[in-house]
Amino acid sequence: MQVQKVIEQLGYTRDEAKVYLAALGLGESHVSDIAQKVRRPPSSVQVIINKLHKDGLMNFYVRKRYKYWVAENPTRLIARLREREDSVRSVMPQLEALQHEREQKPRIKIFEGVDEIRLLYDDMLETKTHILAIIPWDDWIRLLGRGFMEDFIEKRVKHYLHIRLLIPNTAVAAELRSRDASELRETRYVPDDAPIRTTVLLYGAKAAVVSLNRKLPTAVLIEDADVHETLSVFFEELWARSAAA
């Protein structure tokens, strides 16, 4: 990796890194010398030098009324990195408290229309947890498209995400179920006395409920551990009642 890139990764701009490296190579030098080296106007270089001086990476002395700038020892970069690490550590309790507060507060998102509902599947892949789903499969395929669902299944398998699926017993569903072993899925048919007209997706600490209204299919995604847990209880009850063979 280039030296300049390493310095930039410490939070400095490309021009700041160039100026520091130029001063390091020149030794004692005037602003004009450094400006010539980096091919930048002396006024702009002076602003950068002042910033590096404030950070402790450059210093100066005056001799015969002329100011000479000198780059500090490169080990100062490590010291700066440690200072920043210490600063972050000092506020870590507050940051963790904010994260905890965010995680405790339920978040709700609305997805309207087919294109937005499809985004739920991207979210499932990004969440990277196993999935529980109740889906009126034939209607779901008509809504999202067979090609889209086949593509998701392929991606889910590549991510090693297992799914337990509850669906009505239809010919289309039977064809899907025949591929369970190769597609990391366990499928059961819901009882006849439990008609399914709404999709429910449970993953991570999230619960999505999707209305298949033909005029405007809509999904509500709730990110809340308690809601997820409660709907999971309902899923398990229906799972236990559903046909395994």
The mean per-residue pLDDT over the stretch 106-122 comes to: 93
CATH superfamily of 106-241: Endonuclease Chain A (3.30.870.10)
Please determine, for residue 117, whether its predicted confidence score (pLDDT) is greater than 70.
Answer: yes
Cβ count near 19 (within 10 Å): 30
Res 143: pLDDT:
93
The mean per-residue pLDDT over the stretch 193-217 comes to: 93
Res 106: pLDDT:
81
**pLDDT top residue among 94 and 115:** 115
Which amino acid is it at 83?
E
Please determine, for residue 81, whether its predicted confidence score (pLDDT) is greater than 80.
Answer: no
Res 245: pLDDT:
54
- Predicted confidence (pLDDT) per residue in 120-156, tens digit: 999 999 999 999 999 999 999 999 999 999 999 999 9
Is this model's pTM higher than 0.85 or not? no
pLDDT-derived band at 184, boundaries 50, 70, 90: very high
- Exposed, middle or buried: residue 110 (CB in 10 Å: 0-12, 13-18, 19+)? exposed
Q: Which run of H or of E encompasses 7?
A: helix 3-9
Please determine, for residue 63, whether its predicted confidence score (pLDDT) is greater than 80.
Answer: yes
Q: Which of 1, 32, 38, 2 is nearest to 20 (CA)?
A: 38
- 3-state SS, residue 194: coil
Domain spans, the chain: 3-90, 106-241
Considering the domain delimited by 3-90, tell me its CATH architecture.
Orthogonal Bundle (1.10)
The mean per-residue pLDDT over the stretch 201-222 comes to: 94
Average pLDDT, the chain: 88
First-residue to last-residue Cα distance in the chain: 58
**pLDDT top residue among 3 and 179:** 179
Angle at 94 between CA 90 and CA 96, to 5 degrees: 105
